[in-house]
Amino acid sequence: MSPKYSILLPTYNEKENLPVIVYLIHKYLEISEIEYEIIIIDDGSPDGTLEVAKQLETIYGKDKILLRPRGKKLGLGTAYIHGMKHATGDFIIIMDADLSHHPKFILDFIKKQAEQDYDVVTGSRYIGNGGVSGWDFKRKLVSRGANFVSQLLLRPKVSDLTGSFRLYKKPVLEKLIESCISKGYVFQMEMMVRARQLNYTIGEVPITFVDRVYGESKLGGSEIVQFVKSLLYLFATT
Ligand SMILES: Nc1nc2c(ncn2[C@@H]2O[C@H](COP(=O)(O)OP(=O)(O)OP(=O)(O)O)[C@@H](O)[C@H]2O)c(=O)[nH]1
Ligand SMILES: *[C@@H]1O[C@H](CO)[C@@H](O)[C@H](O)[C@H]1NC(C)=O
Ligand SMILES: [Mg+2]
């Protein structure tokens, strides 16, 4: 039997982006005859993202679009856990719903996974044709800096630690989430560190990351301070 993929889309104020990303996922996976479901976890977005999601459910069908909303903004980490509980696929794909992660790369993730039966496949901006577009110098510096310092401290042998476009075997993701303690930005990084500790195999595919066009960015000074704190904590405890 061919495997099924559950795609988790956490959303907060993504009403413009959601229809586009769902359309693109559908387009790329349908032509490749890949079985999938999209799980949308909306945290009470004031812009009406959930209403848009309901329309998409009508258009694409209840077997393709699963709505698992929560009443208020409870954060990304718990959004993944919440979504995962409802996933029926063999594999889980996690991606941002702001179009920074292009759905066309999902096919690369799937191909890579099958090559060596990887437990995890992670998208990397820092290998091959990967890259970022639309970032100003400050944002690039912050991202590169965060990645560099994390590599130095944690040595996980994964080229892009802070990225969040990834594919997991479902039982592997469950195990990893169980063993992760951090929240916020460092969460993605800790997942890779724990994956190494637990001897899971990790494959990498190059991705290009595009800055969001619609909606607000939330990266500010306080996130950076929080990131450094959590990084040091991780360094001290692993
Ligand atoms: N369900 C849920 N989704 C969230 C929450 N915070 C962010 N998201 C979604 O998670 C994804 C990533 O968040 P972003 O705001 O894009 O974070 P980022 O990519 O680090 O920063 P920018 O793209 O620059 O804003 C997007 O799809 C958001 O809509 C949350 O608290 N709950
Ligand atoms: C991972 O592999 C190393 C080296 O082979 C071994 O020492 C360690 O016990 C393994 N860890 C787990 C969790 O299996
Ligand atoms: Mg984003």
pLDDT at 218 (0 to 100): 66
Instruction: Give distance in angstroms: CA of 151 to centre of ligand 2.
Output: 21
What the block records as the tokens of 223 is 């996130």
**Ligand 2 test: best mutation among 199, 200, 201, most atoms within 8 Å of CB?**
199
pLDDT at 153 (0 to 100): 84
3-state secondary structure of 132: strand
**Ligand 2 atom having least distance to the Cα of 199:** 1
Any bridge partners for residue 169, and if so which?
91
Ion ligand 3: protein residues whose beta carbon lies under 5 Å: 96, 98, 100
Ligand 1 pocket by C-beta < 6 Å: which residues?
10-12, 14, 41-43, 73, 75-76, 79, 96-98, 100, 212, 217-219
pLDDT at 140 (0 to 100): 85
Instruction: Give distance in angstroms: CA of 199 to centre of ligand 2.
Output: 6
Instruction: Give distance in angstroms: CA of 2 to centre of ligand 1.
Output: 31
Residues 6 or more apart from 235 whose CB is under 8 A from it? Answer: 153, 154
pLDDT at 163 (0 to 100): 87
Tell me the Cα Rg of the chain: 17
What does each C-alpha distance from 237 to 77, 179, 181, 182, 229 come to in angstroms?
A: 20, 12, 10, 11, 12
pLDDT at 184 (0 to 100): 67
* Residue stretches of the chain with pLDDT short of 50: none
How many CB atoms sit inside 10 A of residue 194's CB? Answer: 20
Exposed, middle or buried, 137 (CB in 10 Å: 0-12/13-18/19+)? exposed
At 184-199, the pLDDT tens digits run 677 888 999 999 999 9
Exposed, middle or buried, 2 (CB in 10 Å: 0-12/13-18/19+)? exposed
Distance of CA 96 to the CA centre of its chain: 5
User: The sheet that has 35-42: what strands, in order across it?
Assistant: 65-67, 35-42, 4-11, 91-94, 166-169, 120-124, 202-206
Element (H, E) at 234: helix 221-237
Query: Ligand 2 in contact with 179 (CB < 6 A)?
Result: no
